[in-house]
């Protein structure tokens, strides 16, 4: 028997898969490990060797993804919701632009959520956010988990979607989720008096279901621990402007195709700086410098890729392709004619309680 499901959580080498309204604790078939195939939360997988009494199974296949984010690793999502706060911690525009640019690289729609709006005594911050990001086509909502201002808009933005929430610690992600789905009872991080920043409360990536007071499913969200800082160490410097639409529209008129729009002659971006928001341009320059480090690393370091398969001659003198085993796997295969999975534990109450 085999069924399809989705990985909702990965923890301590166990894969928790939801399939046919049941949660299964799974391990990977050894061939997936040998092929070094990546497995993400959100992946659609095939389950076999299913034990319905203990709710255990084995993942035997990982299906193609619609999209993914490598850091933190998650696949098949509908949107990224970037949560920032106006104060405690203060709104970090460079970090916001960092999130937006990364979402652009992986072509995933974005919603900007500005939380703790109850702390704003004037509309200066709100107007600045709207002036910068509305013309760029981003959806923006303002919320307060404390006063519940805008919470309904936040709920509607998530409705019937699989969303990834990202944002610095302490901006109120867990508080917002608790407001629209009280059954979650997610831990809330305190703000450090010294750093004025939040403390991490999320330890692993997990897709969780939001349920309202009437036990109706609202949406699914992935709370992640790995979005606190992202660096542009995966693209080249002259590609950064592709993810700044405000800069790109001016860059098309630059004299040179490889112009970085920082100090080059004939740069149309530099000639029209009054059309750009200084915060956006400062972010762009920082990201270009990070991308230069990546380019330098590629230039001065070899990057040999070890193949995970090889071609051999069969008894019929035909060429066949087989999977190469690593040293540890080869040693094990010599000792055991059949590879067996280690026993796996039965699910316990702590998982269901989000502990």
β-pair partners for 306: none
Q: What is the largest CA-CA distance in the chain?
A: 81
Residue 348 has pLDDT above 80, yes or no: no
Residue 69 has pLDDT above 80, yes or no: yes
Q: Could you say which of 300, 315, 333 is where a domain stops?
A: 300
Task: Report the C-alpha gap between 238 and 247 in whole angstroms.
Answer: 12
Q: Higher-confidence residue: 339 or 270? A: 270
Task: Report the C-alpha gap between 20 and 330 in whole angstroms.
Answer: 37
Tell whether 60 and 78 lie within a shared domain: no
Within 13 Å of residue 146, how many CA atoms lie on the same side as its CB? 9
Residue 326 has pLDDT above 80, yes or no: no
CATH label of the domain that carries residue 43: 2.40.50.140
Q: What DSSP state is assigned to residue 31?
A: H
Domain that holds residue 264: 237-300
The pLDDT value recorded for residue 314 is 64
The arithmetic mean of pLDDT across residues 13-30, rounded, is: 95
Q: Could you say which of 168, 195, 223 is where a domain stops?
A: 223
The pLDDT value recorded for residue 149 is 92
Q: Could you say which of 165, 198, 223 is where a domain stops?
A: 223
Give the global pTM.
Answer: 0.77
Tell whether 48 and 82 lie within a shared domain: no
The arithmetic mean of pLDDT across residues 231-239, rounded, is: 88
Instruction: Return the closest-CA partner of residue 75 out of 108, 110, 111, 26.
Output: 108
Residue with tokens 């055991």: 336
DSSP string, 142-168: E--TTT-TTHHHHHHHHTTSEEEEE--
Residue 56 has pLDDT above 90, yes or no: yes
The pLDDT value recorded for residue 92 is 93
The arithmetic mean of pLDDT across residues 252-277, rounded, is: 95
DSSP string, 309-355: EEEEE-TTS-EEEEEPPPHHHHHHHHH-SS--PPP-PPP-HHHHTT-
The pLDDT value recorded for residue 192 is 44
Q: What is the pLDDT of residues 115-146, one digit of tens each?
A: 998 888 778 889 999 999 999 999 999 999 88
Q: Higher-confidence residue: 98 or 192? A: 98
Tell whether 81 and 193 lie within a shared domain: yes
The arithmetic mean of pLDDT across residues 101-108, rounded, is: 94
Task: Report the C-alpha gap between 298 and 37 in whole angstroms.
Answer: 24
% of the chain residues with pLDDT over 70? 78
Q: Is 86 helix (H, G, I), strand (E, B) or coil?
A: coil
CB under 8 A, 24+ apart: contacts of 346-355:
346/25, 346/54, 346/55, 346/56, 347/16, 347/23, 347/25, 347/55, 351/9, 351/16, 351/23, 354/184, 354/185, 354/186, 354/208
CATH label of the domain that carries residue 246: 1.10.40.50
The arithmetic mean of pLDDT across residues 56-82, rounded, is: 94
Task: Report the C-alpha gap between 18 and 78 in whole angstroms.
Answer: 18
Band (298; pLDDT cuts 50, 70, 90): confident
The pLDDT value recorded for residue 213 is 81
Band (23; pLDDT cuts 50, 70, 90): very high
The answer to whether residue 290 sits within a structural domain is: yes
Q: What is the pLDDT of residues 157-168, one digit of tens each?
A: 999 999 999 888
Q: Considering its fold, how many domains does the chain have in total?
A: 3
| Token code pair at residue 127 | 């107007």
Tell whether 116 and 156 lie within a shared domain: yes
Residue 302 has pLDDT above 90, yes or no: no
Band (234; pLDDT cuts 50, 70, 90): confident
Task: Report the C-alpha gap between 162 and 22 in whole angstroms.
Answer: 18
């Amino acid at each position: 028997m085999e069924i399809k499901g989705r990985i909702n959580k990965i923890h301590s080498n166990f894969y928790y898969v939801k399939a046919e309204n049941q949660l299964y604790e799974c391990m990977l078939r050894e061939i997936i490990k040998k092929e070094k195939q990546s497995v993400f939360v959100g992946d659609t997988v095939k389950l076999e060797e299913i034990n319905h009494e203990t709710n255990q199974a084995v993942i035997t296949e990982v299906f193609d993804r619609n999209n993914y984010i490598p850091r933190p690793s998650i696949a098949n999502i509908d949107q990224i919701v970037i949560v920032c706060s106006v104060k405690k911690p203060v709104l970090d525009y460079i970090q916001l632009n960092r999130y937006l640019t990364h979402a652009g690289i992986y072509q995933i729609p974005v919603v900007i959520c500005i939380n703790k709006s109850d702390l704003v005594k004037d509309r200066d911050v709100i107007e600045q956010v709207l002036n910068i990001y509305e013309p760029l086509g981003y959806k923006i909502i303002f919320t307060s988990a404390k006063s519940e201002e805008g919470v309904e808009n936040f709920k509607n933005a998530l409705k019937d979607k699989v969303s990834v929430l990202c944002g610095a610690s302490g901006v109120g992600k867990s508080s917002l989720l608790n407001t629209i789905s009280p059954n979650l009872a997610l831990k809330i991080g305190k703000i450090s008096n010294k750093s004025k920043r939040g403390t991490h409360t999320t330890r692993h990536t997990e897709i969780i279901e939001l349920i309202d007071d009437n036990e109706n499913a609202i949406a699914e969200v992935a709370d992640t621990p790995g979005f606190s800082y992202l660096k542009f160490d995966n693209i080249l410097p002259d590609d950064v402007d592709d993810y700044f639409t405000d800069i790109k529209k001016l860059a098309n008129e630059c004299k040179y195709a490889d112009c970085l729009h920082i100090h080059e002659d004939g740069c149309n971006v530099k000639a029209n700086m009054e059309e750009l928001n200084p915060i956006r341009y400062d972010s762009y320059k920082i990201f270009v410098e990070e991308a230069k480090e990546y380019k330098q690393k590629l230039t001065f370091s070899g990057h040999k890729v070890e193949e995970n398969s090889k071609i051999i001659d069969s008894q019929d003198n035909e060429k066949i392709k087989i999977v190469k085993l690593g040293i540890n796997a080869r040693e094990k295969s010599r000792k055991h004619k059949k590879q067996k999975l280690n026993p796996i534990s039965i699910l316990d109450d702590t998982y269901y309680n989000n502990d």
